[in-house]
Amino acid sequence: MITAVRGTYDILPSDTPLWQFVEARARAVFQRHGFCELRTPIFEQTELFVRSIGDATDIVEKEMYTFPDRKGRSLTLRPEGTASVVRACLEHNLLAQQKAVRLYYCGPMFRYERPQAGRQRQFNQIGVELFGSYSPLADAEVIALLVRLYEELGLTNLTVKLNTLGDADSRLRYQDALRACLAPLQATLCTDCQRRCATNILRVLDCKVPACRDILAAAALPGMQATLSDAARAHYQQVLATLTQLGIAYHEEPKLVRGLDYYSHTIFEVTHTALGAQDALGGGGRYDGLVTEMGGPPTGAVGWALGVERLLMALRAGATALPVPPAPVFLIAFDERAVQENFIIADALRRAGIAAITAYEKQSPKAQMRQANHAGAQIVLMRGEDERAADIYKMKDMRTGVESVCPAADVVHHVTAALRGA
């Protein structure tokens, strides 16, 4: 038997209503905030991700699904959404058309990580990007959007973690301070981190190797705050003050750096208590340098991505009333002719907006009733020789057990009334 590839999985019919619920709520919240959807391809030129995410990051060094196409061009399954969104905006000149451009995306991402609970190789993200503003209000807007979306989904026990990476100058000073702090520890770090101490020292802070994490947790690392320029500090303070005005609780986390090179200023992560080791529900930050890096005009930008699988784990762990699959009407046939008759009535019900299922062949009434129960039917309609003679349908309301009859020509009307509880 051929099975799904390690780190990938099927979303089964019992789970898709929850996915659809989350996606529909997210779309409604985005619409209310003025964000429009952008759909980009699943694969891109490898260079796009190397240039944007950074060649010393875990994603680019170890996690990308990269392959040559039949003409030998290097392609990569997208490991995240922002690079593609920026590419598409530049390719279609979207950023020149209005001052602030608000976009969102939903879809699968691919990273060759070690699969475990909450970590897959194909996983789904929902993300937003806001282009065209350097204002701290834009940072606050997208952070608030993430929190409001989680609230709308009924999620509680969230922690919003915030930090700032400052502007380019602040970051250079911070890297020097970090280098001085890590120099005596360098030999004890993994070989990747030893190399990163020279090439891209910030990436040492998000190494996933347990020994490195322990060493870093014990080290008295410098806080970013001390090396911030005045302008960067003022930007960050206004983000914090605005979040406070919005009533959004946050936690400052001086060691938060996030694993992608393109961030500057505000970075944030939302964690949830029910998720265990992989507790990051979503995260993002400001990335003012990325659009120019990709060949566009200087453009302020801030965004985030949330992991849908982890969001569902948190929802299942919580007290949120989760959606149940639609309960259809089930039509039982007592004889062969009724199978055909039911099929036609089912079509009429569906055209009236009512979910309906029929059997394709005559089975015992008991077997069909079992199927009706299995489908979660609220109403069961029955037809056989006696019903045909009287040109009626027998109807059973499965919620109350009450049985009734209705004229065959009036089935849609009766079922509609019954489902309304009339």
Q: How near is the Cβ of 117 to ligand AMP at its closest, in Å?
A: 10
Q: Is there binding between residue 280 and ligand AMP (CB under 6 A)?
A: yes
Nearer to ligand AMP, 243 or 257 (CB): 257
Q: Is there binding between residue 307 and ligand AMP (CB under 6 A)?
A: yes
Nearer to ligand AMP, 233 or 255 (CB): 255
Q: How near is the Cβ of 2 to ligand AMP at its closest, in Å?
A: 23
CA angle 78, 84, 85 (to 5 degrees): 140
From residue 396, alpha-carbon distances to 195, 332, 346, 358, 402 in Å are 72, 11, 16, 15, 6
CA separation for the pair 28, 103 (Å, rounded)? 13
Q: Is there binding between residue 310 and ligand AMP (CB under 6 A)?
A: yes
Among 44, 58, 113, 139, binds ligand AMP (CB under 6 A): 113
Nearer to ligand AMP, 222 or 283 (CB): 283
**CA gyration radius, the chain:** 28
Q: How near is the Cβ of 42 to ligand AMP at its closest, in Å?
A: 16
Within residues 187-246, the interface with ligand AMP by CB under 6 A covers: none
Residue with the CB atom nearest ligand AMP in the bound state: 307
Among 144, 302, 305, 315, binds ligand AMP (CB under 6 A): 305
Backbone phi, then psi, for 83, in 5-degree steps? -60, -45
Among 30, 104, 123, 393, binds ligand AMP (CB under 6 A): 123
Q: Is there binding between residue 111 and ligand AMP (CB under 6 A)?
A: yes
Nearer to ligand AMP, 258 or 394 (CB): 258
Among 86, 147, 281, 415, binds ligand AMP (CB under 6 A): 281
CA separation for the pair 396, 359 (Å, rounded)? 17
CA separation for the pair 189, 193 (Å, rounded)? 6
Q: Is there binding between residue 177 and ligand AMP (CB under 6 A)?
A: no
Within residues 30-89, the interface with ligand AMP by CB under 6 A covers: 80
Q: Is there binding between residue 302 and ligand AMP (CB under 6 A)?
A: no
CA separation for the pair 201, 79 (Å, rounded)? 22
CB of 346 closer than 8 Å to CB of 331: yes
Nearer to ligand AMP, 39 or 399 (CB): 39
Residues contributing to the site for ligand AMP (CB under 6 A): 80, 111, 113, 118-120, 123, 125, 259, 280-283, 305-307, 309-310
